Structure 1
Amino acid sequence: MNEDSTVIIVFAHGSALPEANREVARLAEEVSRQARCPARCAFLELAQPDLGAAVAAAVAAGARRIVVIPYFLTMGVHMRRDLPRLLAEQQARFPAVDLRAAQSLEGYSGMAQALLDRVEEALSDKEILGGDSNFPDIRSREKDR
């Protein structure tokens, strides 16, 4: 990609769990590394920065083109209603910026393989998902309830 004035924003739902939001930030860093252009994260709710703050920061850093990549699996209500509204608000705020949204992950040809990779990982693991969940963070949170 390597466009000097392009910034990518990885736009996720947001979570009350800080570690989930940190994972989105980590993903944005990896996108930046692979795309060779700046990338940052933004959240719909429950975490910061929101999309408006991320767009404003990108513009302040000199972005003339911003591509928002939704980190959503399907074209649900957030993709059909919320994202278009938020993008329109930001486009009105920064009319000189080329603001675009990429498609959600729905229909992405690599998604089935990604799921099958996870199945393979689960089958190769000695622990069985269920009572002995192989998600230690989930086990510890379930004990706290």
Structure 2
Amino acid sequence: MILFAHGARDPRWAQPFQRLQKMTQESLPGTTVALAFLEFMQPSLPELVASLVKEGCQQVTLVPIFLGQGGHVLRDLPVLVDELRVSHPALEVKLVSAAGEDDSVLSAIRDYCLKAL
């Protein structure tokens, strides 16, 4: 599983995503859970996938950790996925919708907002 986030110049920005990766990895001990970034941070998605394939990975589930299906998810990510499929034709790539499009994620954020009152 690859958690895919935007990236930022400030390394502190990655901390919640790194915690999410660790929490998800702990919940899936038999599965590799990795974190890749679109820009500014490493590893990039192509770098990470190349490394996983070199280690023998045959399938990945790509989970965009974005709140919505904005430009990066709608335009940039499909191009990256197409390039991955060309570069690694034996790799099965499953792409799911942005995390923020899921009702359970929105409910968790709503609950967080309600606790603020």
- TM-score between the two structures when normalised by the length of structure 2: 0.90
- Write out per-residue CA displacement over residues 2-60 of structure 1, whole angstroms, 9 at most, x where no aligned residue: xxxxxx11000001121121321221122122123111100001111110011111112
Identify which of structures 1 and 2 has the higher relative contact order when contacts are C-alpha pairs closer than 8 Å and 6+ apart: 2
Aligned to 1:17: 10
Where structure 2 has 5 or more consecutive residues not aligned to the other structure, the ranges are none
Q: How does 1:1-145 map to 2 (within 5 A)?
A: 8-36=1-29, 37-123=31-117
Greater helix share, structure number? 2
Q: Check conservation: 1:25, 1:40, Cα contact below 8 A.
A: no
RMSD: 1.4
Q: How many residues align?
A: 116
For structure 1, the 5+ residue unaligned runs are: 1-7, 124-145
Deviation at 1:112, TM superposition (A): 3.4
TM-score, scaled to structure 1: 0.74
Distance 1:60 1:26 in 2: 26
The percent identity for this pair of structures is 31
Q: Which has the larger radius of gyration?
A: 1
> Which is further off, 78-87 or 26-35?
26-35
- Structure 1: how far apart are the matches of 2:24 and 2:103? 19
Structure 1 runs of 4+ with >6 Å offset: none
Q: 1:97 and 1:112, CA in 2 relative to 1: closer, same or farther beyond 3 A?
A: closer
